[in-house]
Amino acid sequence: MLYLTILTLHNLMRWVVLLAGLWALYRACRGWIGAHPWTSDDRRAGRWFAQALSLQLLIGGVFFCLPESVAWLAWTNPETVTREPSLRFFVIEHTVQMFVALSLAHAGSALAQKGRNDIQRHRRSALLFSIGLLITFVAIPWPWSPYERPLVRLGWG
**Can you spell out the DSSP letters for 110-123?**
HHHHT-SSHHHHHH
pTM of the entire predicted model: 0.85
Instruction: Report pLDDT digits (tens) over 103-121.
Output: 999 999 998 888 789 889 9
* Alpha-helical segments (H) within 35-68: 40-64
DSSP for residue 90 = I
Instruction: Report pLDDT digits (tens) over 75-94.
Output: 777 787 778 887 788 888 88
Instruction: Report pLDDT digits (tens) over 4-29.
Output: 888 888 888 999 999 999 999 999 99
- What is the pLDDT at residue 123? 92
Query: CA-to-CA distance for 87 and 76, rounded, in angstroms?
Result: 13
For the segment(s) 2-139, the CATH number from 3.40.50, 1.20.120, 2.40.10, 1.10.10 is: 1.20.120
Domain ranges in the chain are: 2-139
Closest CA to 121 of 50, 29, 53, 48: 29
> Do 105 and 49 touch, CB atoms closer than 8 A?
yes
